[in-house]
Amino acid sequence: MAGQAPPRTIAIAGGSLAGLSAAEELRAQGFGESIIVVGREPEMPYDRPPLSKQMLKGEMAADALALACKPDMDITWRLGKSATGLDVGARTLTLDDGESLAFDGLVIATGASPRRLPFGGLAGMHVLRTRQDAEQLKADLDRQPARVVVIGGGFIGAEIAATCRALNIAVTIVEPLPGLLIRALGPMVSELVGNIHRDQGVELRTGTQAFDALADGAGRVRAIRLSDGTEIETDVVVVAVGVVPETHWLEGSGLDISDGVLCDATCLAAPGIAAAGDIARWPNTRFDECRRVEHWDNAIQQGRYAARRLLADESATTEPYTPVPWVWSDQFGLKLQVYGSTVLHDELRFVDGPTDDHKFVALYRRGGRLAGVAGIGKVRSLLGYRRMLEAGTSWDDATSATSASAQGTAQ
């Protein structure tokens, strides 16, 4: 750090996984000065993936979600508080209680919030993002409703539907696109996932939108009206139509906050200010794309990277942040895993399966290179393709290796 004065106070706006990972990495790198974490939720950081699965099923208590945080890290936690403004020049955060918090370095990790529908607000209508959201939804599921309607067929919607079936609750997914997960994984894998859900008794209403919610006399949802005019009777609805990055508090800061906080390839949004997690939009040169990544693993890795970036000598060359993203989803006892970038692909090819028990490996091509891989039940193969993604393997080399492996197995 010879080219700059070391920071004396590093603030972290956001008290979830990315923020915690940044704080831990600062201490791991030997930063001995002040770390202040501002978190909107009153709880210490906790794990979100179990919210849609184990917690709703009653297999995991809310207090078991807490992420390990070493007590000797000497971190100042400002929980139950939100950042409401940022002055980049003065290097100050404004909090919702009026406090002005000065910093030398800042990690923006305020994440994202669920999208809402204009007809929400009735009793029995839920979103799922926080522990409190999960507790409220679980209370309704514990009543064993006759049917749950899930609006949205992405990862969260699909997982909630699978959880409902595990609880022996009838469930309908309403998705305006032709299939589940289609935006993320393409139509071929989408069809396979849809068939898995149908086999387990999930009703799919695809190609239609939830148009309105109808209330009973007590102000509780009693039905969802679709854009095709049909109605689905229900008294529990989960809206799972994606998230919006929490950037409203950064308006007027001078940062580019179009679809998240725009960063450079080293996760800097401005000198001494980095972003990490769901809110960060940066150019991942490995895949020649600039976008946000809303995955658990990325929150950890990018939080750690952002911490190291703030401690780096600005006069030195910093290696860009070029991860191979990884996400998994547990549905009906099957683990769907995805590595790399599967959006905007030019070709999707099954190279293994799908088998009768739904195991498969699918490769995604963008241009002349392997861009991503998805699969169920093929852990060893998926790890091999992950290494290819890390090495920047061409499409021809990846598919040739697949063919050679298949011939060797046949012999």
Q: What is the pLDDT along the chain (411 residues), one digit of tens a residue?
A: 445 566 799 999 999 999 999 999 999 999 999 999 999 999 999 999 999 999 999 999 988 999 987 777 899 999 999 999 999 999 999 999 999 999 999 999 999 999 999 998 899 999 999 999 999 999 999 999 999 999 999 999 999 999 999 999 999 999 999 999 999 999 999 999 999 999 999 999 999 999 999 999 999 999 999 999 999 999 999 999 999 999 999 999 999 999 999 999 999 999 999 999 999 999 999 999 999 999 999 999 999 999 999 999 776 678 999 999 999 999 999 999 999 999 989 999 999 999 999 999 999 999 999 999 999 999 999 999 999 999 999 999 999 987 555 433 332
What is the predicted pLDDT for the residue at 191? 96
What is the predicted pLDDT for the residue at 411? 27
Regarding whether 399 and 366 lie in a shared domain, the answer is yes
What is the predicted pLDDT for the residue at 405? 53
What is the predicted pLDDT for the residue at 407? 38
What is the span of the domain harbouring residue 125? 117-241
Regarding whether 140 and 209 lie in a shared domain, the answer is yes
Determine the residue type at 179. Answer: G
What is the predicted pLDDT for the residue at 406? 46
Regarding whether 248 and 108 lie in a shared domain, the answer is yes
CB within 8 Å of 391: residues ≥ 6 apart: none
371: number of CA atoms within 13 Å, CB side?
A: 21
Cα distance between residue 138 and residue 136, in whole Å? 5
What is the predicted pLDDT for the residue at 68? 80
Report the chain's terminal Cα–Cα distance, integer Å: 57
| Core vs surface per residue 309-337: b (16+ CB within 10 A) or e | bbbbeeeeebeebebbbbbebbbbeeebb
Which two tokens mark 263? 């960063």
Regarding whether 253 and 108 lie in a shared domain, the answer is yes
Regarding whether 149 and 252 lie in a shared domain, the answer is no
What is the predicted pLDDT for the residue at 318? 87
CATH code assigned at 383: 3.30.390.30
Asked if 247 and 260 count as a contact pair (C-beta separation under 8 A), the reply is yes
Regarding whether 143 and 123 lie in a shared domain, the answer is yes
Please state the domain count of the chain. Answer: 3
Q: Is residue 318 part of a domain?
A: no
Asked if 285 and 303 count as a contact pair (C-beta separation under 8 A), the reply is no
Among the candidates 260, 278, 311, a domain finishes at 311
Among the candidates 192, 226, 241, a domain finishes at 241
Among the candidates 224, 241, 258, a domain finishes at 241
Regarding whether 207 and 126 lie in a shared domain, the answer is yes
Regarding whether 372 and 337 lie in a shared domain, the answer is yes
Concatenating the DSSP letter of every residue in 239-275 gives E-S-EEES-GGGTTSSS--TTSEE--TTSEEETTEEE
CATH code assigned at 298: 3.50.50.60
Q: Is residue 2 part of a domain?
A: no
Regarding whether 254 and 184 lie in a shared domain, the answer is no
